[in-house]
Amino acid sequence: MISTFLTLPCGAILDNRLVKSAMTERISNNKFEPTKGHERLYRDWSKTGAGLLITGNVVLDRKHLESAGNVCFDDKKMLPKLKSWAEAGKKHGNHIWVQISHSGRQTNRFGTNRPLAPSEVQLRKLGLFGKPKAMTEQDILDVIQRFVTAAKLAKEAGFTGVQIHSAHGYLLSQFLSPNTNMRLDHWGGSIENRSRLLLMIIRDVRKAVGKDFPISVKLNSTDFQRGGFTENESLEVVKMLDREKIDLLEISGGTYEKLAFFIMNKEDSELKKSTKQREAYFIDFAKKIRTVSKIPLMITGGFRSYDFCKEVLTNGEVDLIGMARPFITNREEISKFLAGELPHLKNLVFRTGLKQFEDAAEGGFYARQIIRFSKGKELKTNMNPLWCSIFLILYEFKKAMAKKLF
């Protein structure tokens, strides 16, 4: 089942049901352009045989970076480099889609001390994030146009689709959450108003790229925070997305304040019993989506066994299997897994033993592996967890200094 093709609503065909989900690369050059490292990474991931590769965060605004190493799709002058990246990423006949995103209040101080956001609700984590400015109507319209520009550049460069990032606490996710969207105008209040920006972006992007170009949305099932975006609200948004006829919905969860999408594991006390028993983190929510929507569905997080992937696909619980970290820890074995020759993928849990450093250590470890891969180096697992926990701050500072961001 995992090796069967899938025809998307727009008519595009994925050769199989395995997807490399987005992981931030952090390796752009000083002009925010892709590098030979991007080409090497995606050429190698293309070799795995996965039907779809989704890039890491590609930003729309150089002042609102998720990482100082992000690529920014905002200038036609970089098209030759974008085309080389796209060509490398689809070398073996797979799709490669660009994940486009705006960080909003999750832009760290290396980018700006006053990021734009729906409301002036500051992200308080390690002192890395400034107090945001509430967006004006013109700011919001400008962001919509930036999404359109990025999508058009992606198509012109030869990428085969786009994913609009509306999860993990980035700007569109901030608009959806009542914790971060306290606006009293037509962009805030009801879930219909809080969804308005996402829906307008989808409609304008569709007009720009045409009916045959895949558009995906990444959406939180919940923020995992009191007073935040809930499962019931997420289902209401899914109903709206169903009417927009998008081509793929990827479900995840969490924000920078609650990194559910990143550091969940089977010992997590907040995981439902059924989820612990069934491997994938968001599989219960996928069942609820099936009752309200016909959008092709993908969830990412937890998949490690071939039999379970086959089970959920055969049962129609999901249409695509999203994986991220296995494309690092098992990169050379993914093709065997896809063929049913490898029953289990590694589930590497990287921990310091200090709760306040766990997400930073995990993030630093995988970031270092991607950077190594981009240089043609191999996987290295014997890294010091505490060093990994401070790696990202030091690396981001170095990249920001090189780009003269502050």
Of 115-119, 259-263, 392-396, where does mean pLDDT reach its minimum? 259-263
pLDDT at res. 126: 66
Show the tokens assigned to 128. 């890395």
Q: How far apart are CA 296 and CA 321, in angstroms?
A: 11
Q: Would the pLDDT of 279 be above 90?
A: no
Q: Would the pLDDT of 179 be above 50?
A: yes
**Once rounded to an integer, what is the mean pLDDT over residues 210-219?**
98
pLDDT at res. 365: 94
Q: Would the pLDDT of 124 be above 90?
A: no
Q: Would the pLDDT of 192 be above 60?
A: yes
**Once rounded to an integer, what is the mean pLDDT over residues 364-392?**
94
| Residue type for position 123 | L
> Which pTM value belongs to this model?
0.94
pLDDT at res. 1: 86
Residue 211 pLDDT level (bands cut at 50, 70, 90):
very high
Antiparallel, parallel or unpaired: β 6-7 and 13-14: antiparallel
Is residue 323 within 8 Å of residue 309, measured between CB atoms? no
pLDDT at res. 76: 96
Q: Could you give the dihedral angle defined by the CA atoms of residues 235, 206, 198 and 261, in that order, rounded to the nearest 10 degrees?
A: 60
Residue 406 pLDDT level (bands cut at 50, 70, 90):
low
Q: Would you mind telling me the total number of residues written for the chain in this entry?
A: 406
Choice between 274 and 359, residue whose per-residue pLDDT is larger: 359
Q: How far apart are CA 275 and CA 227, in angstroms?
A: 23
Strand partners, 299: 251, 321
**Once rounded to an integer, what is the mean pLDDT over residues 154-181?**
97
Averaged pLDDT of the chain? 91
Alpha carbon of 212 to those of 11, 129, 155, 199, 226: distances in Å?
6, 39, 11, 18, 40
Residue 249 pLDDT level (bands cut at 50, 70, 90):
very high
Q: Can you state the angle between helices 36-46 and 79-89, rounded to 10 degrees?
A: 20
CATH number of 6-350: 3.20.20.70
Choice between 363 and 369, residue whose per-residue pLDDT is larger: 369
| Residue type for position 33 | E
Closest C-alpha to 246, from 223, 218, 220, 221: 218
pLDDT at res. 256: 66
Residue 94 pLDDT level (bands cut at 50, 70, 90):
very high
Element (H, E) at 53: strand 52-54
E strand residue ranges, 293-374: 297-300, 320-323
**Once rounded to an integer, what is the mean pLDDT over residues 345-355?**
76
Q: How far apart are CA 258 and CA 239, in angstroms?
A: 25
Q: Would the pLDDT of 219 be above 90?
A: yes
pLDDT at res. 257: 61
Residue 2 pLDDT level (bands cut at 50, 70, 90):
very high
Q: Which residues of 7-25 are buried (b: 16+ CB within 10 A; e: fewer)?
A: ebebebebbbbbbbbbbbb
The per-residue pLDDT for range 288-343, each reduced to its tens digit, is 999 999 999 999 988 999 999 999 999 999 999 999 999 999 999 999 999 999 99
Q: Would the pLDDT of 277 be above 70?
A: no
Alpha carbon of 89 to those of 40, 208, 345, 363, 401: distances in Å?
9, 23, 23, 24, 29
Residue 307 CB-density burial (10 A; 0-12 exposed, 13-18 middle, 19+ buried) = exposed
Closest C-alpha to 216, from 5, 3, 1, 9: 9
pLDDT at res. 242: 96
The per-residue pLDDT for range 251-274, each reduced to its tens digit, is 988 776 655 544 444 444 444 444
Element (H, E) at 164: strand 161-166
